[in-house]
Amino acid sequence: MKPWGIFLLLLCLQAFTDAVIGQSQTCPADENASRCDEWEGEFFPGIDKIKYEGPSSKNPLSFKWYNAEEEILGKKMKDWFRFSVAFWHTFRGTGADPFGAPTKYWPWEDGTNSLQMAKRRMRANFEFINKLGVDWWCFHDRDIAPDGETLEKANANLDEVGKKKVLWGTAQLFMHPRYMHGAATSSELGVYAYAAAQVKKAMEVTHHLGGENYVFWGGREGYQSLLNTDMERELNHLARFFEAAVAYKKKIGFNGTLLIEPKPQEPTKHQYDWDAATTANFLRKYGLIGEFKLNIECNHATLSGHSCHHELETARINGLLGNIDANTGDPQVGWDTDQFLVDIQEATMIMLSVIRNGGIAPGGFNFDAKLRRESTDVEDLFIAHIIGMDTMARGLRNAAKLIEDGTLSELVRKRYQSFDTEIGAQIEAGKADFDFLEKKAKEWGEPKVASAKQELAEMILQSVL
């Protein structure tokens, strides 16, 4: 290579190093990285606490619509949402995909999955949520602390890292090869027992951290083929697993809500908790309906062929709405992309359900969402959460307008007004049998059917967006 070529190559390498490591790097990923274990500086220098500046602000590191202390329909915004940061996406997401290597190299990372590195990430997490103005975070056990050669070692690692209150915790029962056939639905008894031990510890840590919920997401609880699957036996085992979880929750005095997170497929071809209705039926069948609620993820809703609003309403009318994973998928992509929700109309529909539910405490809105592969700046972590929080805040404001205006509610009331009669009341009370109804049908003749006014309803919705 020519001398000038070598010079240009060195310049390019330096530029890449500056981009990846950062000249203002606070926690150098080099041979001195071990010093960072005791380091008390900022992980996000130059980024102050995010403030509300209003819709006219052009500052990307500010809230335009989310004003934590502002009251909407008698409740502060922060209490409607109870926002939470997902540790696994925010601090363990690398940008890798099936076709490409990681693209994110945060300046505090040293390239290891050591216990020391886990503690450093946790400090970065707490600085992040404090600057973002969020009170809660959520975790998978194996994301915040490294696994161990034995269960005892893995448990000890978890004890070392967990130190601050969480919205909810969960056990990662899908990544390790032992869980390739499932965890609670595995065909191997030893795996079932190991999964129980892992959940036991994760629940203890969640309880110790003041967690208000505990989530079960069964990514491997399903099947690839029914030819080699005893579905009935697996479902029975899953129910026994949940029964044991309820018993242990009560044994240790954990008063948090147990949540199941429905998803139709991925990574399995078919998961047993396909959607909210399927999960509700499972809970009723096994007598668990009073012990669990649902964590509805919007991207999972669309994968199951529903809207997020549909899943929230299904959970709500069954008394099962417990938490929301606020994210979305791409309509052109058929998998779980976990993007930040930025659709204002969808956010408005979501908040209509939340308001009708009276809120979702002790649950909240967890940002189970990740930066796009191509977004690699540290500030992008803040910008993504800011737009997610602002979108939901706009949804809340819009939903409040709809409710206070009353036009949409009146449209719905009028559509069903034929049941607001004496005979309608008899039907809804279960006191009108077929003989009685046949008599009325003959008496009334051909019924008149009114317009549903769908386009008018859509116009009313658009008026507040």
> Is 176 one of the annotated active-site residues of the chain?
no
CA distance 66 to 54: 8
- Whether 95 and 377 have beta carbons less than 8 Å apart is answered as no
**Mean pLDDT over residues 320-334, rounded?**
93
Task: Give the residue from 299, 213, 298, 217 showing the smallest Cα distance to 258.
Answer: 213
For residue 10, pLDDT over 60 is answered with no
CA distance 454 to 115: 56
Which of 405, 429, 453 is where one domain is finished? 405
Q: What percent of the chain has pLDDT over 70?
A: 91
Same domain? 179 vs 304:
yes
Q: Which of 5-9, 173-177, 376-380, 401-405 has the lowest mean pLDDT?
A: 5-9
**Mean pLDDT over residues 55-75, rounded?**
98
Residue 39 confidence (pLDDT):
53
How much is the mean pLDDT over the chain? 91
| Exposed / middle / buried, residue 455 (Cβ in 10 Å: 0-12, 13-18, 19+) | exposed
How many domains does the chain contain in total?
A: 2
**420: phi then psi, degrees, rounded to nearest 5:** -85, 50
Task: Give the residue from 27, 216, 213 showing the smallest Cα distance to 119.
Answer: 27
Same domain? 449 vs 314:
no
Residue 85 β-bridge partners = 137, 367
Cβ contacts of residue 300 below 8 Å, gap of 6+? 261, 262, 263, 264, 275, 311, 325, 336
Residue numbers of the domain that contains 316: 5-405
CATH number at residue 126: 3.20.20.150
Same domain? 55 vs 67:
yes
Q: Read off the pTM.
A: 0.90
Same domain? 71 vs 49:
yes
Q: What percent of the chain has pLDDT over 90?
A: 84
Same domain? 372 vs 441:
no
Task: Give the residue from 218, 197, 195, 201 showing the smallest Cα distance to 144.
Answer: 201
Max Cα-Cα span within the chain: 101
Q: How confident is the model at residue 162 (pLDDT cuts 50, 70, 90)?
A: low
Tens-digit pLDDT profile for residues 422-442: 999 999 999 999 999 999 999
Same domain? 388 vs 452:
no
CA distance 293 to 279: 10
Same domain? 9 vs 126:
yes
Same domain? 226 vs 316:
yes
Dihedral class, residue 419 (left if φ above 0, else alpha if ψ from -120 to 50, else beta): alpha
- Whether 134 and 84 have beta carbons less than 8 Å apart is answered as yes
Structural tokens at position 347: 């956010």
- Whether 340 and 384 have beta carbons less than 8 Å apart is answered as yes
Q: Which of 302-311, 328-337, 377-386 has the lowest mean pLDDT?
A: 328-337
Same domain? 300 vs 415:
no
**Mean pLDDT over residues 192-198, rounded?**
97
Residue 298 confidence (pLDDT):
97
Which of 405, 431, 447 is where one domain is finished? 405
Same domain? 391 vs 420:
no
For residue 30, pLDDT over 90 is answered with no
**Mean pLDDT over residues 147-167, rounded?**
85
Same domain? 127 vs 245:
yes
Same domain? 285 vs 343:
yes
Residue 158 confidence (pLDDT):
85
List the catalytic residue out of 89, 140, 181, 385: 140
Residue 6 confidence (pLDDT):
34
